[in-house]
Chain A
Amino acid sequence: MRRILLIGLTFVPFLGMAQGFQVNLHGQKQIGMGHTGAALVQDGASVLFNPGAVAMLPENYIQGGVSPLLFKSAFLPAGSSTQYNVANKVATPFTAYAVWGPKNAPWKLGLGVYTPFGGLTDWGNSWQGKYVLESLDLKAIYFQPTLSIKLADYISIGGGFVYNYGKVNLTKAIPLASAGAADGKAELDGSGHGYGWNAGIYIKTEVGMTVGLTYRSQVDTKIEAGKTTFTVPNALTSSFPNGTFAASIPLPSTMTLGLGFYPSKDWTLAIDINYVDWTPYTSLDFTYSTTTAALQNTRSARNYRDGFAFRGGAEYKATTKTALRFGGGYGITPVQDGYVTPEAPDANRYYVTGGLGYKVAKSLDLDLSFEYEHVNPRTQTNIESQLSGTFQTNVFIPGISLAYHW
């Protein structure tokens, strides 16, 4: 008679994609210059920065790099002075590019493998927002074969096909106590894939300036059968059946306009304006293979708006063997007030970068980069979870790459 519907325990969903998940670590030379590169012909990273410029590369390239990323986020709950920090974990975005074409041919083939989206946050199981998120490990790896053609000495175009492999592991506490445990736990683990394309055009103008325009399409990444693991008190296991979940995430399209300037033989200056179209990301839906009164499919509003980034950078060839690079930029968050979540507590951000290039041998470049990113403090009450407080994030990203060219 006292039938209990455990509706109140319904899983509040999670996972937001933010600029915080957009990983702009696509090549050490470009990172050093503030992530500019749409209008430059630096190395094999042009596969990503501007497939239209690949045909302009004077040599063939094979290169790889890694940028260990330390995401240091803190949360101060409203009305409290107890600050929570994410655990020290290092994400490893990487890049690998290959570019090949016959000498003097007007075309080049390219392949890029890179990680344009990802996140690694671990807030632990004792913080204020544990029912929203404990930890998240998200990776998206893009594979991009590319063809680029030089139409004339001053113009080239290119395009590529994108296959995305995405992987997510997420844990959060469930507010169900038993004698032995303060909370239950949910773990969602899955992988999925998606497809997209990109294209670009590169122009050398008569005044010496170079112009690049690129477009990377939206990649709808679908996880069709991720695994759910619920740990709940014994009496409630039937309410939280382990099974599978499905979710779809629209990784957004981006458009970049870049300009390159060459005031002297030793100096290269670049600016990029980057537009990220997050507007298709209106909601995040989760569908479970078995639903119960306590475990319902969810639909969470996200209502993202467009994101912008303004970037600038410079390279100075200090000697014939060494290049110094520096740059910076400012990003405008796509996350509106009320939608900030602890997976990637996003806000407007600025970043500064520095880099060092060294020619180890005639055909081998060693490049180092360092980036510091400061995400502005943002005081928010999330509309869905009512998690209220201030987030602040600093990101530290050293990086290293080797490029062989011939």
Chain B
Amino acid sequence: MKNFKHYLYILAATASIAACKPTIDAPTPSKGSADFTRYIAVGNSLTSGYADGGLYLAGQQNSFPSMIAAQMQAVGGGSFGQPLFDAAQASGSGYKKLTGFDANGSPILADVPQTAVRGTITLGPSTYVLFTKYTGALENYGVPGIKLNDVDNPGYGNANGYFERMFTNSSPTITTSYQDFVTTKSFTFFTNWLGNNDALGYATSGGAGDVLTDKTVFATKYAAVIAKLTATGAKGVCATVPDVTTVPYFTTVTVAAVLAGVQKAAPTVTGLYINARASNNASVTTYVPRLATANDLIVLTFPTSKMGAPTVVGGVTTNPYPYGLDPRNPIETQYVLDANEISLVQDYVSSYNATIKSVAASKGLGVFDAFTFLTNVKTTGLVINGVNLNSGYISGGIFSLDGVHLTPRGYAIVANEFIKVINSQYGASLQQVNVANYNGVTFP
């Protein structure tokens, strides 16, 4: 028995020594040749955290630059100030939320009212909404709506409430251009995702309400803004402009789906008429009615209730023909990005992206090719940590309710793509963001 106890102690001791958790050696995060002391994010709504058709606190808190900055902090990155709406005004500009699905499975959206509007200002023919001022530290300079074309306009801040709120003075007294504003305070690293709105503004208005920024103007201004951003030796990453046909704003409501809806009530209808651009030549701007094809894209916000009814304005019938079903009353151009408009936009985007890549290369900057990335997502989908993601509206998990901007999960994926570029361009080893921590569309 004495021996037995002796052996028992040995066995117990062995067991207790061994009983611990495994530890896997992790690579030590490193900043490589980059310096993240002050990182600034330059860009538009995508940079600001805009989602669900508005800028609001929860969206801002899930902006991709804030996620990148959090990873930079592990390797000496500084604090990252964002122009957040305060908690009492959390709904910011107001946004859309999903309240359910109707019997057809179509989503029902409701407006969350704005809480951060302080007034409006009328400049010339236009009236602009002004938001509660932000006075704190500022590293995220994402301004919804800004085009590259606007960055050197000293009066732009007077006409964009999201930009105006970053200034201490108010519209209409602002005289500092965006590119001067963001470079006022010294910084060591930047991301620059400008240029989307130069094409998207035209596209989302169905080619009707906006114009494409001239290719040469784009090249000149892009080179100028990058020259300013790199003037003091800062390093950074630029991103390209996605193909507009990869976003659900244009791919969800299809010609075939609208036609099928019409045919439920009127089985004899065989086609839809749209008012379409006659040519993809930029200088030919005439529109003519024609039958729609699968190559024409209808915007997400198209009110399908208009289909087949005579057009009535203020109780007076202005067009007796069935809307969209007769060449004399075609679907209006602002609801359709027709094949020629697509071709035109794609030609411009291609030129913009060539500019972005060559300017970035000339300064030794990294490039996140958002064009290629989102095209691949549309073509093949994306699986991350067991989640199937794609470019589908709501179900895809990446795009928010407005069909253009991203969900928190989508922004996390974008943050990781930027991080991969930062790591490869500058020999850094920033950690990836855990995409599983961020949600897609919020369901009721």
Chain A residues within 8 Å of B, Cβ to Cβ: 1-10, 12, 70, 72-83, 85, 126-132, 172-173, 175-179, 182-183, 232-236, 318-319, 321-322, 324, 354, 356, 358, 368, 370, 372, 377, 384-387, 390, 392-394, 396, 398
**CA–CA, A78 and B385, complex, Å:** 11
Chain A residues near B395: list those with CB within 8 A: 4-9
Which of A4, A83, A132 sits near B23, CB closer than 8 Å? A83
User: For the complex, what is the distance from the CA of A356 to the CA of B9, rounded to whole Å?
Assistant: 11
A176 contacts across to B, CB distance below 8 A = 440, 443
Interface pairs A-B: 4 shortest CB-CB: A177-B439, A81-B26, A233-B443, A79-B432
Sample (10) of A-B pairs whose CB atoms are under 8 Å apart: A2-B252, A5-B395, A6-B394, A7-B395, A8-B396, A72-B20, A80-B431, A83-B24, A354-B11, A370-B11
Query: Which A residue's beta carbon lies closest to that of B74?
Result: A81
Contact call B436/A128, Cβ cutoff below 8 A: yes
Knowing A182-B439, A236-B443, the reply to whether A392 touches B24 (Cβ < 8 A) is: yes
Check if B440 sits within 8 Å of A175, measured CB to CB: yes
Which residue of A2, A183, A319, A390 contacts B107 across the interface (Cβ within 8 Å)? Answer: A2
Choose one: A1, A5, A6, A128; the contact of B385 (CB below 8 Å).
A128
- Are B392 and A8 interface neighbours, CB within 8 A? yes
B359 CB to nearest A CB, Å: 28
B77 to chain A, nearest CB (A): 15
Contact: A129 with B253, CB < 8 Å?
A: no
In the complex, the answer to whether A132 meets B386 with C-beta atoms within 8 Å is yes
> Inside 8 A of B409's CB, which chain A residues have their CB?
175
- Looking at the assembled complex, report how far the CB atom of B61 sits from the nearest CB atom of chain A, in whole angstroms: 14
Q: How far is the CA of A396 from the CA of B17 in the complex (A)?
A: 11
Q: Does B119 contact A (CB under 8 A)?
A: no
* Chain A neighbourhood of B397, CB < 8 A: 8-9, 175
Q: Verify A4–B107 contact, CB threshold 8 A.
A: yes
In the complex, what residues of A have CB within 8 A of residue B1's CB?
A: 321
Contacts of A358 in B (CB 8 A): 4
Residue of A7, A370, A385, A398 touching B383 (CB-CB under 8 A): A385
Q: Are B105 and A130 in contact (CB under 8 A)?
A: no
In the bound complex, do residue B7 and residue A356 qualify as a contact, i.e. CB atoms below 8 Å apart?
A: yes
Do A178 and B105 touch across chains, with their CB atoms under 8 A apart?
Answer: no
Segment touching A, from B96-104, B128-136, B178-186: B96-104
Selected contact of A4 from candidates B3, B11, B261, B394, CB within 8 Å? B394
| Contact assessment for B258 and A396 in the assembled complex, using a CB-CB cutoff below 8 Å | no
**B124 contacts the other chain (CB 8 A):** no
Q: Which B residues touch A384, using CB under 8 A?
A: 383
**Across the interface, do A235 and B444 meet the contact criterion of CB distance under 8 Å?**
yes
CA distance A321 to B396 in the complex (A): 68
Please report the C-alpha to C-alpha distance between residue A72 and residue B389 in the assembled complex, in whole angstroms: 31
**Pair A82/B434 contact, Cβ less than 8 Å:** yes
Inter-chain contact total with CB atoms closer than 8 Å:
177
Residue in A7, A80, A318, A393 whose CB lies within 8 Å of B22: A393
**Known contacts A8-B390, A385-B385; A76/B11 CB under 8 A:** no
CB-CB under 8 A from B389, the residues of chain A are: 8
B106 in contact (CB, < 8 A): yes
Output the nearest chain B residue to A83 by Cβ-Cβ distance. B24
Give the complex CA separation of A78 and B416 in angstroms: 12
- Please determine whether B434 and A72 come into contact, CB atoms closer than 8 angstroms: no
Given A2-B252, A4-B105; A74-B434 close (CB under 8 Å): no
Q: Which residues of B lie under 8 Å from residue A370 when comparing CB positions?
A: 11, 14-15
| B17 nearest CB neighbor, chain A only | A372
Q: How far is the CB of A136 from chain B (nearest CB, A)?
A: 14
User: A129 touching B14 by the CB < 8 A rule?
Assistant: no
Q: B294 at interface (Cβ–Cβ under 8 A)?
A: no
How many Å lie between the Cα of A321 and that of B431 in the bound state? 58
CB of B84 closer than 8 Å to a CB of A: no
> Which residue of chain A has its CB nearest to the CB of B397?
A8
Chain A min CB distance to B406 (Å): 14
Asked if B24 and A76 sit within 8 Å, CB to CB, the answer is yes
The smallest C-beta distance from A375 to any residue of chain B, in angstroms, reads 9
**Cβ of A8: which chain B residues have Cβ within 8 Å of it?**
381, 388-390, 392, 395-397
Q: Does B29 contact A (CB under 8 A)?
A: yes
CB distance from A87 to the nearest CB of B (A): 11
B389 closest partner in A (C-beta): A8
Complex-state Cα separation, A322 to B257, whole angstroms: 81
- Bound state CA distance, A386 and B20, in angstroms? 29
* In contact, B24 and A377 (Cβ under 8 angstroms): yes
A4-B393, A83-B26 known; A77 vs B3 contact (CB < 8 Å): no
Distance in angstroms between the alpha carbons of A363 and B441 in the assembled complex:
68
Q: Which of B5-44 contact A (CB under 8 A)?
A: 7-8, 11, 14-15, 18-24, 26-29
Interface residues as binary, B235-279 with A (CB distance below 8 Å gives 1, 0 otherwise): 000000000000000001100011001000000000000000000
Closest B-chain residue to A86, C-beta based?
B21
On whether the beta carbons of B434 and A77 are closer than 8 Å, the reply is: yes
B385 partner residues in chain A, CB cutoff 8 A:
128-132, 385-387
Q: Are A179 and B434 in contact (CB under 8 A)?
A: no
Q: Is B18 touching A372 in the complex (CB atoms < 8 A)?
A: yes
A261–B338 Cα distance when bound, in Å, is 84
Chain A residue numbers with a CB within 8 Å of B20 are 72, 394
Measured CB to CB, the closest approach of chain A to B97, in angstroms, equals: 9
A179 contacts which chain B residues (CB < 8 A)?
A: 442, 444
Question: When the two chains form their complex, are residues A177 and B22 in contact, meaning their CB atoms are under 8 A apart?
Answer: no
Pick from A232, A356, A392: contact of B11, CB under 8 Å:
A356
The 8 Å CB contact of A72, one of B21, B261, B392, B436, is: B21
Q: Does B313 sit at the interface, judged by CB under 8 A? A: no
Interface pair B392/A76, CB less than 8 Å apart: no
- Verify B383–A178 contact, CB threshold 8 A: no
Q: A76-B26, A177-B440 are in contact. List 7 more A-B contacts (CB 8 A).
A: A5-B392, A74-B22, A80-B434, A182-B439, A368-B11, A384-B383, A385-B385
B331 part of interface (Cβ distance < 8 Å): no
A1 touches B258 (CB 8 A): yes
Pair B384/A235 contact, Cβ less than 8 Å: no
A234-B444 in contact (CB<8A): yes
Please give the distance in Å from A366's CB to the nearest CB on chain B.
9
B431 near A178: Cβ-Cβ < 8 Å: no
CB of B436, distance to nearest CB on chain A (Å):
5
Whether, in the assembled complex, B304 has its beta carbon less than 8 Å from a beta carbon of chain A, the answer is yes
The answer, among A3, A78, A82, A132, for a CB contact under 8 Å with B106, is A3
| A63: min CB distance to chain B, Å | 19
B87 within 8 A of A: no
A165 to chain B, nearest CB (A): 30
A178 touches B443 (CB 8 A): yes
Closest chain A residue to B398, Cβ basis = A8
What residue in chain B is nearest A366 (Cβ atoms)?
B4
B300 within 8 A of A: yes
- Residue from A2, A12, A178, A393 with most neighbouring chain B CB atoms (10 Å): A2
Q: Mark B419-444, 1 if CB is under 8 A from A, else 0.
A: 10000000000011010110111111
The answer, among B23, B253, B440, for a CB contact under 8 Å with A1, is B253
CB distance from A174 to the nearest CB of B (A): 9
Knowing A72-B22, A322-B7 touch, does A12 contact B442 (C-beta < 8 A)?
no
Q: How far is the CA of A354 from the CA of B13 in the complex (A)?
A: 12
A174→B280 CA distance, assembly (Å): 45
**Interchain CB contact (< 8 A) of A3 among B7, B14, B27, B257:** B257
A74 to B381 CA separation, bound complex (whole angstroms): 29
CA of A332 to CA of B258, assembled, Å: 58
